[in-house]
Amino acid sequence: MVLSGFVKKAYSHKNVRVGKKADLNKDPQEVAAMFDGVAKRYDFINDLLSLNRTKAWRKVATSIIAPTKGMRILDIAAGTGSSSRPLADAGADVVALDFSQGMLEAGRKRNPDLTFVQGDALKLPFEKDEFDVATISFGLRNTNNAKDALADAYRVVKPGGRMVVVEFSHPTNSIFRTIYMNYLMKALPIIARKTSSNPDAYVYLAESIQAWPNQKGLAAVMESAGWQRVGWQDLTFGIVAIHVGHKPAA
């Protein structure tokens, strides 16, 4: 996942305890260390905890991005490259960027043909107007300033380009929302303790989802960062929402 700040080997910092839970202040070193610690089994555990819905969500996101040969796409918070893979397979020129060194190492092993870059979502290491599309899947929530991350993505996207954000959201049905939040805060940590080497990381996941703005709230944040004609599509009753913003043509 991509975080604010840029700390190589953050997991070795003397004040960071590897394998522990970051808090909602989202200190860059703590969150980077947390993701370094879960990188090897991250995709497997995510599929398990989402009841294997991640693949379906990724498929919808890919269809919305509509990658084509020659399209230049920046995949922010790309992790091990699971979100980048279908974009590259469609012929797009994809740059998979992440902050966590552990995630990048795992990604390079699993997807050696993809271009991985270590970098900061708030200070992207690219020039203005480089990409046709910028996308971020389940990573915007882990930055400590979502508006700044969206604004820097706006900077590197070409006029006429798009921003596609895939993120956990709030179920629209009040009864289902109650059931889902109970699962997040009670069942998910229990499952994680039996399957993950760092179950505390998934307690952070639950807490960060609960504190995240709803669909309308995230759309407002995107608009405040410059994106126009922002809309969204709910998936799985609103557990996940895909937001799309547009950069005006020159």
The CATH number of whichever domain residue 136 belongs to comes to: 3.40.50.150
Name the percent of the chain lying above pLDDT 70: 73
pLDDT tens, 44-91? Answer: 445 544 556 788 999 999 999 999 999 999 999 998 999 999 999 999
The domain total for the chain is 1
**145 lies in a domain?**
yes
Given a cut of 50, whether residue 133 has pLDDT beyond it is: yes
Q: What is the identity of the amino acid at 91? A: G
Across 42-67, b (16+ Cβ under 10 Å) vs e yields bbebbebbbeeebeebbeebbebbeb
pTM, to two decimals: 0.79
Mean pLDDT lowest among 112-116, 170-174, 202-206: 202-206
Please, are residues 124 and 74 in contact by the beta-carbon 8 Å criterion?
yes
User: Which pLDDT band holds residue 35 (cuts at 50, 70, 90)?
Assistant: low
At 199, phi and psi to the nearest 5?
-60, -25
Lowest mean pLDDT among 6-20, 168-182, 195-209, 219-233: 6-20
Whether residue 93 is contained in a domain is answered as yes
- For residue 41, being part of any structural domain is answered with yes
Q: For residue 157, tell me if it sits in a domain.
A: yes
- Whether 245 has a pLDDT exceeding 90, the answer reads yes
Q: Is residue 102 part of a domain?
A: yes
Domain range spanning residue 76?
A: 10-172+205-246
